[in-house]
Structure 1
């Protein structure tokens, strides 16, 4: 059993990652979900998280986090996720309770209360997690590793060099990568290979209510992705959860990773690939995924929740 906290900015792919984690109760214990300003404003992504958790009848505690990055103004992505941050489905209200409005303290308490080491899952800008490590450095002994969706060694998406989550708050990302904690990085190198096809999306339309929700999410996401050159839909954030559930469907290499925080390369993640280096290779950078098994993992999770 893995014990995790999901820090996110829902987001279509965040929603599918949360749903998949919830469906795998025998493998994952979700201690809490926290939100961070990213794909949209903190208010909007928190509303999206509430809607997803309520839709699947969850009782996982939800906490709100930072509205802005550490040093810059928030950059949102309505071009990818719509004005709500999760356009497509229609929800009937946001009744889900907020357990805390201080995600950093919430995470600290949940980690300290847990009898096991905890995996932190970062699906958005890493501001909340960076603040947790800076405010409570002693917490590192209780963290198994950090699984993030962010970065990319080959290319970016918000700029030619930078991936969106890292670009929004590279100062926070640098704190994570320099923390000496083990990190699993699901960057664009692997997430753009973790795609679901149009036919697979269509197959969800007439299944159960949770599969239909996934269809609505993915249908919008697929249409939106066309403007960026995608025919099928990479489910980026799901990779950070899928690795926890089944690391064998991924491969990658260990590197020392750092982040550029200024200039035209702001947000760039880069690896020290020198044969002789004294830097600790604490980041597993994923670069390949078994796409079929990845999609099966999602579809099987949806089927489990369809029965509930």
Structure 2
């Protein structure tokens, strides 16, 4: 049976592909899309979710969530995702609407389910505080790293935006799978991958335009020759766990360090004496992963 999923996201170029992957894969029953401020403001990321759903004919509820972190100001990633949060393609008419209910209430209405989170964890933490943990089967998140970060030397962007929310999630007792930079940096969108996508009609060309813009900013900011497709790797773990190898480990969230706020402290060798609280991704079957992504886009085209 397909896995019921609520996808909480902040589109975002890679979030857009994550939406397509979740909607186009028969292994997932995509029940709702919820948006959270992170890559861009809440208004912009919600419009972007509507844009990609309109382009792909995806008809699931879209709900607006939290417009700021639990503590501190919002930091967006305009240097990576542009002024709209999803620069690059020319989108057509926006036909997908937004439901009136808050994202947290929409999440609850579609439980029990797996929560896949590809943005800051503000919505997920707020859900857990309001409704508890009983109905959440698992939280699979893109965020963190077993090594270095991409926003500060040791903090990955999604966790850095709201480390207090990440702390709530990792200490909740819900089964958590963390898919971090150490694995997503293996999922590089080469020109060959872009070429495969652009053969899939208008939707494939939108994907190609998304990845072309994404490649340019990653080259300028980080020196990458090809951009890493972060968020869909978390979705892929739900589609087929064998795509993403994981180990059990304790993950602590640094919320106060002068230089390390937002860092994920991953105790791979059990040095801290804490019991594991997460499955931590450590490997990716890259070739099969991109086959799954391309097939999902083909299914929607």
Contact 1:256 1:281 in 2 (8 A): yes
Structure 1 residue 101: deviation in Å? 4.3
Aligned to 2:97: 97
CA distance in 2, matches of 1:167, 1:215: 28
CA distance in 2, matches of 1:301, 1:260: 36
- In the TM superposition, what are the counterparts of 1:10-89 in structure 2 within 5 Å? 10-24=11-25, 26-89=26-89
Structure 1 position 141 matched with structure 2 position 142: no
- Which ranges of structure 1 fall in alignment gaps of 5 or more residues? 112-116
Aligned to 1:160: 153
CA distance in 2, matches of 1:275, 1:169: 26
- CA deviations 1:192-248 (Å, max 9, x no partner) are 011221222133334312211111111111111102121122100001100011111
1:283 aligns with one of 278, 282, 299: 278
Structure 1 position 124 matched with structure 2 position 119: yes
- Which ranges of structure 2 fall in alignment gaps of 5 or more residues? none
Structure 1 residue 123: deviation in Å? 0.5
Aligned to 1:114: none
CA distance in 1, matches of 2:97, 2:91: 16
Aligned length: 298
RMSD: 1.4
Contact 2:57 2:300 in 1 (8 A): no
Greater mean alpha carbon deviation, residues 296-305 or residues 272-281: 272-281
Structure 1 residue 132: deviation in Å? 0.5
CA distance in 2, matches of 1:145, 1:278: 24
Contact 2:54 2:93 in 1 (8 A): no
- CA deviations 1:11-63 (Å, max 9, x no partner) are 01000010011111x31111100000000000000000001111111210000
Q: Secondary structure at the match of 2:11?
A: coil
Give TM-score, length-normalised by structure 1.
Answer: 0.93
Contact 2:142 2:230 in 1 (8 A): yes
Structure 1 position 110 matched with structure 2 position 104: no
Q: Secondary structure at the match of 1:151?
A: coil
CA distance in 2, matches of 1:275, 1:98: 45
Structure 1 position 246 matched with structure 2 position 247: no
Aligned to 1:300: 295
Q: Secondary structure at the match of 1:264?
A: coil
- CA deviations 1:62-92 (Å, max 9, x no partner) are 0000010001110000100010000011123
Contact 1:12 1:81 in 2 (8 A): yes
Structure 1 residue 178: deviation in Å? 0.5
